[in-house]
Chains A and B, each alone.
Chain A
Amino acid sequence: MTHLELENLIGEYVEGQLPAVRRAELETHLAGCADCQFMADDVRRAFELCHAAEPLEPPPWLVPKILRATLGERVPSLRQRLADWFRPVLQPRVAYGIAMAVFSLSMIMNVAGINLRQVRRGDLNPATWVGQANRNGHLLLGRVEKYCYDLKVVYEFQSRLQRLRAQPTETPRPVAPAGGSTYGAPADEGLLASAGNLNAPVLAGLYAQAAGWKRSARSTNP
């Protein structure tokens, strides 16, 4: 293969479209000709550069501009007008802001105890909101308190107090130091005193429940 023949085929060669026989001839020539090898490298680089180039994006106004030039000004349909109106609202930032505002408002309304299905004129008064919020706050506090009393550890603690109260106080007690200090007195003394404030029927119920736990514990751990 001559230099000129190679030059005429180099484009197809770099593209990989040359028949096998011609390709073998060309490669044989390239192996023995440094100039042609350089040329082939340059063409390959140019070819790769062309194919690596990313397609360009036309400006966004081009298609609407051509549409106007070909079809003329069009009256937008109701759907398009609505879409145009909502487009800024549907931007991620704005949508997120709206969602957060709705969430905050629903939280406030929930705390204020306003039922959207049955809104009355009085519900619109801020004084009502404050009153409702106050009431709901107290209800919440009550629930928390009840939850704490319902805990097993509290039951056990109270049942122990009850048991201590029920036991006869036969053991001699150390005399309390002067000044009314309880230092040196049994640890449950103060607790027993405070247990006296508890509602008797409630304590009786708690005691019965604690006794049941105790029995079940004995049966499982002989």
Chain B
Amino acid sequence: MEQEAQLVVRCLGGEESAWEELLQAHARKIYNLCYRFTGRASEAEDLTQEVFIKVFQMLTTYDAVQGAFSTWLNRVARNHLVDHYRRTHKDRLTSSLEEQTGGLEDKPSADEHPIARLESQERHEVLQSALNRLSPDMREAVVLRDFQDLDYDEIAEVLGVPEGTVKSRINRGRLELARVIKRMEGVKGGTGPGL
């Protein structure tokens, strides 16, 4: 935590390598957050870039006393994702499920058996499709908790809501996710991914 604060100070001092280090350390997490939120690889790339440009411009507003850099970064990313969602909501309603899940970019492992890879791909598609059907409030809570492994208090800080609300959203999100997954497996005629 202190290390990151020092990196930010070095970065503000004009040290380009410090910015590169920060970027390398957090790009993956932010990309995953964006991907889980949008469900599209190309969109996640663009959003990750936009988030980091915003972070670069707003870096002077970060106060290490207020909290960890990663929490601040998540908050910036989350706000940007919500803005993006509002902007593109209408387009999203008209987009097809295939398009949403078409950009899955799980790297096929050379060691992985083709059938296992196919099953993994199918699980991934079902999960992402189910996530896409959650409301933004529930989705962001579930993504931050179950994919980004943030604590409840960190999520509360990122979302700017009380911890009780976070717990409630996560709970409702998980229930909804379970219902959607079950429905999707039913639609596929019981050929859903085995867990």
Interface stretch (choices B44-52, B63-71, B81-89, B155-163): B44-52
Chain A residues within 8 Å of B48, by CB? 58, 62, 66
| Cβ contact within 8 Å between A11 and B171 | yes
> When the two chains form the complex, which single residue of A10, A12, A48, A50 contacts B147, counting CB atoms closer than 8 Å?
A50
Q: Type the 1/0 row for A45-59, where 1 means its CB is closer than 8 Å to any CB of B.
A: 111111111111111
| A208 to B161 CA separation, bound complex (whole angstroms) | 106
A80 to B49, CA, bound (A): 24
Task: Tell me if A55 and B32 are in contact (CB < 8 A).
Answer: yes
Binds A, one of B1-9, B17-25, B93-101: B17-25
CB proximity to A under 8 Å, residues B96-145: 105-107, 123-124, 126-127, 130, 142
Q: In the docked arrangement, what's the CA distance between A49 and B65, Å?
A: 36
Is B175's CB within 8 Å of the partner chain A?
yes
How far does the alpha carbon of A44 sit from the alpha carbon of B64 in the complex, in Å? 37
Give A63 to B30 CA distance when docked, in angstroms.
12
Nearest CB on B from A93, distance (A):
16
**Chain A residues whose C-beta falls within 8 Å of the C-beta of B124 in the assembled complex:** 53
Residues of B within 8 A of A31 (CB): none
In-complex Cβ contact of A47 among B20, B27, B174 (8 A): B174
**Mask of B176-195 contacts with A, CB within 8 angstroms, 1/0:** 01110110000000000101
CB atoms of B168 and A58 under 8 A apart: no
Give chain A's interface residue range (CB within 8 Å of chain B).
20 to 34
State whether the Cβ of B153 lies closer than 8 Å to any Cβ in chain A. Answer: no
Q: Do the beta carbons of B170 and A67 come within 8 Å of each other?
A: no
Given contacts A57-B107, A69-B49, A70-B19, contact A46 B177 (CB under 8 A): yes
Known interface pairs A50-B146, A66-B52; A55-B171 also in contact (CB < 8 Å): no
Q: Is the CB of A42 within 8 A of B27?
A: no
Residues of A within 8 A of B37 (CB): none
B residues 24-70 in Cβ contact with A at 8 Å: 24, 27-29, 31-32, 35, 41, 45, 48-49, 52-53, 56
Q: Chain B interface: which size bin? A: 35 or more
Given contacts A12-B167, A62-B48, contact A50 B177 (CB under 8 A): yes
B27 shortest CB reach to chain A, Å: 5
User: Given the complex of chains A and B, what is the CA–CA distance between A57 and B28 in angstroms?
Assistant: 6
Could you say which of B24, B107, B123 contacts A49, with CB atoms under 8 Å apart? Answer: B123
Quick check: A59 and B195 within 8 Å, CB to CB? Answer: no
Q: List, in ascending order, chain B residues with CB within 8 A of A74's CB.
A: 16
Contact with B along A169-208 (1 / 0, CB 8 A): 0000000000000000000000000000000000000000
Report if A65 contacts B (CB, 8 A): yes
Cβ–Cβ contact B195 & A49, under 8 A: yes
- Find the residue from A14, A47, A56, A69 having the highest chain B CB count within 10 A: A56
Asked if A39 is at the interface (CB within 8 A of a chain B CB), the reply is: yes
B residues in contact with A45, CB < 8 Å: 178, 181, 195
Identify the B interface with A (CB < 8 A).
16, 19-20, 23-24, 27-29, 31-32, 35, 41, 45, 48-49, 52-53, 56, 105-107, 123-124, 126-127, 130, 142, 146-147, 167-168, 170-175, 177-179, 181-182, 193, 195
**Residues of A near any B CB (own CB < 8 A):** 7-12, 14, 39, 42-43, 45-59, 62-63, 65-67, 69-71, 74
The 5 closest A-B pairs by CB, nearest first: A11-B171, A42-B178, A50-B146, A58-B31, A46-B178
